[in-house]
């Protein structure tokens, strides 16, 4: 007989089932008992809301009741009855309870009290059983679904780009090597270097830092594509916004210029955030309250003016500010924190890279809304970005979000072969190895553009979680690959 004859709590709460016989399965959050009755708050993961199960000691054996402890997994059959108590319209009057899995209360680490996020990170294998993480991962799912829906509705094709590659698309050299060579005793060339000809792929390989270059190849055939996959960067950044393994969404479009690219990115972000607002009401209401409580513990000048839900609504309802890098430098040079030397990195001249303190000033203090920063100096951007008329800047765009900083990086691509190879030469990027990339500029080249959205940064923004480690199930960061 099939085991999975159950109703999910989410469905149970959506309609009226009073009088019907039902089976629930889930994990015990709390149990309150008096001598006449026990009330069990059950959660089955389908929703943030628990469902109340009522167990009468005249019906349910004492032996079973004792084993209903926080964290235990149980199966309950009984009748849905109108609820006496406040907060819920109905409850389940148990006629039979089975213990599927005990959770020894002496040893179970999650107790019905507030645990710190730091502590929960150490027990990431259990933290999804808390309200906060349950909400975060349901919202993360909804956002991933919204991403696919958005592009599918627009006729984009999902391309799976390789995870193991021989190129370093961003040219920053922060890659994880992939090898099957014996690291204690690698084969050597005559010059004494590691002989990658002997390696599995007969060449040096690494985990991908971006699917963009392969995405461009696909866009030169299917016109509008996107990737959504894992991305790996070996940067030693211990910040609240960096992971060594993260997920990135990279649309790439033929026949798009820089402005088309900005329009798409803005519409895309607004649309997936609206989807979450519409489909994750209970979870976001909970996260909104959680964020408000967390704000209370911050210093007054560090608190955000808007609550989480207000912030999301604000982003979906208002146009993003669009300014050039050059305009941003002027604003920053004349800003109070720059003049009072409050920035750690003072902005003195055109050409410097922007630090996250500068990005946050622009978004949170100056414009107070998302900003699309465009046309950066070519020296601080990747080789593939299209050179502007001025010969100094490239058609880059970064989108900056309040509380997050850079959430999107993208550009119109350099489709002119001579410009591209000149740039590669200047930046010491080997052209022979990239023959396949350059072929797209040799055969049927067209203006095209694309961008990359850091998925965890989006989930951070939508859930209001302050640390990126708390929006991916099992974070990978320097010194940390447990679970």
**Is residue 233 close enough to count as binding ligand 4AD by CB under 6 A?**
yes
**Is residue 456 close enough to count as binding ligand 4AD by CB under 6 A?**
yes
**Cβ closest to ligand 4AD, residue 142 vs residue 407:** 407
**Cβ closest to ligand 4AD, residue 110 vs residue 372:** 372
**Is residue 410 close enough to count as binding Mg ion by CB under 5 A?**
no
CB of 456 to Mg ion, least distance (A): 14
Listed residue (166, 158, 139) closest to 249, CA to CA:
158
**Cβ closest to ligand 4AD, residue 55 vs residue 328:** 328
Task: Tell me which of 110, 138, 146, 170 binds ligand 4AD, using CB under 6 A.
Answer: 170
454 binds, among ligand 4AD, Mg ion, none (CB under 5 to 8 A by kind): ligand 4AD
Listed residue (124, 245, 225) closest to 175, CA to CA:
245
**Is residue 212 close enough to count as binding ligand 4AD by CB under 6 A?**
yes
414 binds, among ligand 4AD, Mg ion, none (CB under 5 to 8 A by kind): none
**Is residue 423 close enough to count as binding ligand 4AD by CB under 6 A?**
no
**Cβ closest to ligand 4AD, residue 214 vs residue 283:** 214
Task: Tell me which of 134, 402, 450, 464 binds ligand 4AD, using CB under 6 A.
Answer: 450
Per-residue mark of binding to ligand 4AD, 235-264 (x: CB under 6 A): x------xx--x-x-x--------------
Dmax over Cα atoms in the chain, in whole Å? 85
Compute the chain's Rg from CA coordinates.
27
**Is residue 451 close enough to count as binding ligand 4AD by CB under 6 A?**
yes
Asked if 115 contacts 124 with a C-beta cutoff of 8 angstroms, the reply is no
CB of 400 to Mg ion, least distance (A): 11
266 binds, among Mg ion, ligand 4AD, none (CB under 5 to 8 A by kind): none
Q: How far apart are CA 169 and CA 210, in angstroms?
A: 6
Q: How far apart are the first and last CA of the chain?
A: 34
Residues 216-246: b if buried by 16+ CB within 10 A, e if exposed = bbbbbeebbbbbbbebbbbeeeeeebbbbbb
**Is residue 375 close enough to count as binding ligand 4AD by CB under 6 A?**
no
253 binds, among Mg ion, ligand 4AD, none (CB under 5 to 8 A by kind): none
Task: Tell me which of 48, 72, 169, 354 binds ligand 4AD, using CB under 6 A.
Answer: 169
362 binds, among Mg ion, ligand 4AD, none (CB under 5 to 8 A by kind): none
Task: Tell me which of 211, 215, 251, 409 binds Mg ion, using CB under 5 A.
Answer: 409
**Cβ closest to ligand 4AD, residue 31 vs residue 386:** 386
**Is residue 457 close enough to count as binding ligand 4AD by CB under 6 A?**
yes
Q: Give the footprint of ligand 4AD on residues 402-421 (CB under 6 A).
A: 406-411
Per CB under 6 A, residues contacting ligand 4AD are 169-170, 210, 212, 233, 235, 242-243, 246, 248, 250, 406-411, 450-452, 454, 456-457
Per CB under 5 A, residues contacting Mg ion are 409
């Amino acid at each position: 007989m099939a085991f999975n004859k159950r109703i999910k709590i989410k469905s149970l709460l959506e309609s009226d089932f009073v009088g019907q016989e039902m089976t629930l399965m889930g994990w015990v959050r709390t149990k309150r008992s008096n001598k006449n009755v026990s009330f069990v708050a059950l959660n089955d993961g389908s929703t943030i809301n628990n469902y109340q199960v009522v167990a009468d000691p005249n019906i349910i054996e004492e032996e079973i009741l004792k084993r209903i402890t926080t964290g235990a997994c149980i199966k309950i059959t009984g009748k849905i009855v109108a609820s006496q108590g406040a907060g819920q319209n109905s409850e389940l009057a148990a006629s039979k309870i089975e213990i599927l899995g005990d959770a020894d209360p002496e040893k179970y680490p999650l107790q019905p009290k507030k645990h710190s996020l730091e502590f929960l990170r150490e027990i990431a294998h259990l933290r999804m059983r808390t309200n906060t993480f349950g909400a975060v991962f349901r919202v993360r799912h909804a956002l991933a679904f919204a991403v696919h829906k958005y592009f599918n509705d627009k006729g984009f094709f999902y391309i799976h780009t390789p995870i193991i590659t021989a190129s370093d698309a961003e040219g920053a050299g922060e890659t994880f090597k992939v090898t099957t060579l014996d690291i204690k005793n690698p084969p050597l060339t005559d010059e004494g270097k590691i002989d990658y000809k002997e390696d599995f792929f007969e060449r040096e390989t690494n985990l991908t830092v971006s699917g963009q270059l392969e995405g461009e190849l696909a866009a030169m055939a299917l016109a509008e594509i996107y990737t959504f996959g894992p991305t790996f960067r070996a940067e030693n950044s211990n910040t609240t916004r960096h992971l060594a393994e993260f997920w990135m969404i990279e649309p790439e479009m033929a026949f798009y210029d820089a402005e088309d690219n900005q329009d798409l990115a803005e519409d895309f972000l607004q649309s997936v955030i609206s989807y979450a607002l519409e489909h994750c009401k209970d979870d976001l209401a909970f996260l909104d309250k959680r964020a408000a409580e967390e704000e209370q513990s911050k210093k007054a000048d560090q608190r955000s003016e808007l609550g989480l839900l207000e912030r999301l609504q604000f982003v979906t309802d208002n146009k993003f500010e669009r300014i050039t890098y050059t305009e941003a430098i002027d604003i920053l040079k004349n800003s109070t924190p720059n003049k009072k030397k409050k920035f750690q990195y003072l902005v003195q001249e055109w050409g410097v890279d922007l630090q996250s303190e500068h990005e946050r000033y622009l978004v949170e203090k100056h414009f107070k809304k998302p900003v699309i920063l465009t046309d950066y100096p070519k020296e601080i951007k990747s080789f593939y970005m299209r050179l502007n008329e001025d010969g100094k800047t490239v058609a880059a765009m970064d989108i900056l979000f309040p509380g997050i900083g850079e959430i999107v990086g993208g550009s119109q691509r350099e489709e002119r072969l001579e410009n591209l190879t000149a740039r590669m030469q200047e930046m010491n990027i080997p052209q022979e190895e990239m023959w396949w990339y350059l072929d797209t500029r040799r055969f049927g080249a067209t203006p095209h553009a694309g961008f990359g959205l850091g998925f965890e940064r989006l989930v951070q923004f939508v859930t209001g979680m302050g640390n990126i480690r708390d929006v991916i199930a099992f974070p990978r960061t320097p010194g940390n690959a447990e679970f």
